[in-house]
Amino acid sequence: MQTIETNIQTLTKLGLTPQESKVFLTLLSVGKEKITTISTISSIDRSNTHQIIKRLQEKGLANEILGKPNHYEPIPLKEAILILKNKKHEEYKEIEKQANELIKSCKPSIITKPNDFEFKIVKRNKETKQQEVLNACKSVECCFDLIISQKDFHETFVGLMSPQLECVKRGIQYRVIIEEKTLNRFKRAIKPFLEYSNFQIKYIKEPLSALLGIADKKWAYITLETSIPNQKDFSQLITNNPSCLEMFENHFDKVWNEAKEYELSDDHAIISKKRTNNNPKILNASPVPS
């Protein structure tokens, strides 16, 4: 059941001030009244009530009925909500326009040279981590190697399944290492990827304590698992330093060689047949850089 406080908060989010919301709700409850009565019911002094109603009139949410004394009435709630929503929509469009102009006007102050290498630690949360995955899916050109824990698999692989699958459909050589318990839990989510021969997946029994992604053998993304329950923020290391990349690639290859091949039991024969019939199902694959 909606409370008065909740209704005031809703109208405030739609663009009214708390006092404007309170007076408008009072008008809705009485239908048509004079200033003195509206002031008494809303517990707002008369002079302020009068100014607030004037603002509601300017916003098209209240009407003045001439008389001795004048009375005021609200427009129907459904119409009022529509007016406020349209106003918010126009404000958002203007903000989006200004934001795009800001992006165009701001030029990078530093031009990265081909031999400049980065090594940085970035603060992330769930939303920014998912955005990083989306960016990686769009920008990767030929290959992507991924070691991913069950927690991260649910949030950034299953949760973003469509862009991941589009990445594979583009022909990206995609290798994934997961935990055995992840395999048992997410078989249905993994199955569509197995139709593509450029997608390979292996698993290990031991829990994984870090997320490692290597894109095009040019960038590495490292996230350490935390033991703190319900922790929302975490740190991610991002680097394109050749020495670091070589170390992370060697680590991935070592785990990959020790991991077990993924077999989908009864469905495996069907998947294999699909791959063969599709010759195999892989699009525009690019060569893996050396």
Task: Read off the pLDDT band of 114 (50, 70, 90).
Answer: very low
Which residue did the predictor score with more confidence, 290 or 24? 24
pLDDT score for 113: 47
Helix, strand, coil percentages in the chain from 3-state DSSP, rounded to 5:
50, 20, 30
Which residue did the predictor score with more confidence, 107 or 1? 107
Q: Are 122 and 238 in contact (CB under 8 A)?
A: yes
Task: Read off the pLDDT band of 108 (50, 70, 90).
Answer: low
| Rounded Cα gap, residues 182 and 155, in angstroms | 12
Q: Where are the alpha helices (DSSP H) in the chain?
A: 4-13, 18-30, 35-42, 46-58, 77-105, 126-139, 150-152, 161-169, 180-185, 187-190, 242-258, 268-278
pLDDT score for 231: 60
Task: Read off the pLDDT band of 190 (50, 70, 90).
Answer: confident
Average pLDDT over residues 37-43: 92
Task: Tell me phi and psi for residue 113, to 5 degrees.
Answer: -85, 155
| Rounded Cα gap, residues 167 and 162, in angstroms | 9
pLDDT score for 102: 85
pLDDT score for 116: 60
Q: Which tens digit of pLDDT belongs to each residue from 218-264? A: 888 888 665 555 566 677 788 888 888 999 999 999 999 999 987 65
The token pair at 69 is 């004394």
Q: How far is CA 83 from CA 23, 53, 97, in A?
A: 17, 16, 21
Answer whether residue 266 shows pLDDT above 70.
no
pLDDT score for 173: 93
Task: Read off the pLDDT band of 279 (50, 70, 90).
Answer: very low
The token pair at 162 is 């469509």
Which residue did the predictor score with more confidence, 283 or 154? 154
| Rounded Cα gap, residues 266 and 247, in angstroms | 38
SS3 74: strand
pTM across the whole model = 0.53
Answer whether residue 69 shows pLDDT above 80.
yes
The token pair at 161 is 């399944």
Task: Read off the pLDDT band of 3 (50, 70, 90).
Answer: confident
Mind listing the domains of the chain with CATH numbers? 4-79 (1.10.10.10), 119-278 (3.30.870.10)
